[in-house]
Amino acid sequence: MKLIHGGRVFKPPYWEVWFGMQRFFQHRYGDPTVQNRIRMAEDLGMAIIPLGGIDTNVWFQRREETSTGLSRYAGGQLESLRQLEERPIPDFKPIVERLRPDQQNVRESGFVSWVVLPWCFHAVATSMGLRNFIVRLHRDREFIEHAFDWVEERNRLAIDKVVRKVRPDLVLFDGDCAYKTGLMVNPEIFRELVVERTRKTVSRLRSLGIPYAFHTDGKLDDVIPILVELGFSAVHGCERTANDLGDLVERFGDEIVLVGNMDVTTLYLSTPQRIRAETERMLMEGSKKGRFVAACNTSPLDNIPTDNYLAFVDAIRDFSPRLDRES
């Protein structure tokens, strides 16, 4: 939280923003209760506990089951304003009743917590399918803008009805909006679509004194300046195949906390020895300005060997910053 509130910490904390290693979790800790999430944090040295997502009922995705039994995204179903108008607002009361005791458990254990909200660009683009979204943006921008407003209005309601009562320590917006080469749409159009709508939403969090962070895959050159302008404390992803971490630190490391950079494919394919070396490289580069959090750049899944993932965790725990940077 020192980092999130603008301080500098040269030994990076560890925060796995998305964690998909369900078999790993079940084997070591049991069912994903808040008590067991706390046990995982204590065991692995993680800094912050997930309370979960706040369901605002904004997704219109299609999912299909793979041959291995996994459920995968298979496109979007959103086509009309009528679908938005007919989609009910969720009952937020049960969400508050579920999250409040979890938040109390987290605080009593000496940890801090975060919740997840959707974000207009990612929610609408995936609810339509990216190709349909791009075509509709060209032919019927009014519909896209209406859908963006609809998502953010629900986010503001969730902040008023849930976040205000639960008081998580951080809110993360799930906001995929970039390819490995840059934003999914023209940067000028992107700014016109998202900035003022997002500003209106995060102003609710600022009035509560609750910091907020952002996740996106892809290249961050055009994303980070907007996040800084809107007062985001941190950005997660820093996808290694799309970004040079050292360059991000040099250009943006004084303005926003950078979270993540370990490539999950490296964790899957490499040896524990190489993973330790890659993790140490990431930590040395990321921590140069004291505003970095160690993490994967996306969700680690159960295809990663346990020994490989634990080598990553151990390297974070064992990392020693150069003392002259702290003096």
The share of the chain scoring above pLDDT 90, in percent, equals: 93
Residue 215 to residue 15: CA distance in whole angstroms: 13
Radius of gyration of the chain (CA): 20
pLDDT of residue 137: 98
Contacts of 312 (CB under 8 A, 6+ apart): 262, 267, 275, 276, 279, 296
Tokens 């000028």 identify what position? Answer: 188
pLDDT of residue 258: 98
Pairing, β 61-65 against β 71-76: antiparallel
For the entire predicted model, the pTM comes to 0.95
pLDDT band of 296, cuts 50, 70, 90: very high
Q: What is the mean pLDDT of the chain?
A: 95
pLDDT of residue 327: 41
In this predicted structure, the answer to whether residue 326 has a pLDDT above a threshold of 80 is no
Tokens encoding 229: 């302008």
pLDDT band of 74, cuts 50, 70, 90: confident
What would the mean pLDDT of 301-324 be, rounded to a whole number? 92
pLDDT of residue 323: 55
| 219-273 pLDDT per residue, tens | 999 999 999 999 999 999 999 999 999 999 999 999 999 999 999 999 999 999 9
In our burial notation (b when 16+ CB lie closer than 10 A, e otherwise), range 1-13 reads: eebbeeebbbebb
In this predicted structure, the answer to whether residue 311 has a pLDDT above a threshold of 70 is yes
**CB burial class (10 A; 0-12, 13-18, 19+) of residue 162?**
buried
Residue 26 to residue 192: CA distance in whole angstroms: 44
| 79-131 pLDDT per residue, tens | 999 999 999 999 999 999 999 999 999 999 999 999 999 999 999 999 999 99
Query: With the C-alpha atoms ordered 35, 40, 41, 46, is the resulting torsion angle positive or negative?
Result: negative
What would the mean pLDDT of 135-144 be, rounded to a whole number? 98
Residue 170 to residue 2: CA distance in whole angstroms: 12
Tokens encoding 118: 């959707």
pLDDT band of 151, cuts 50, 70, 90: very high
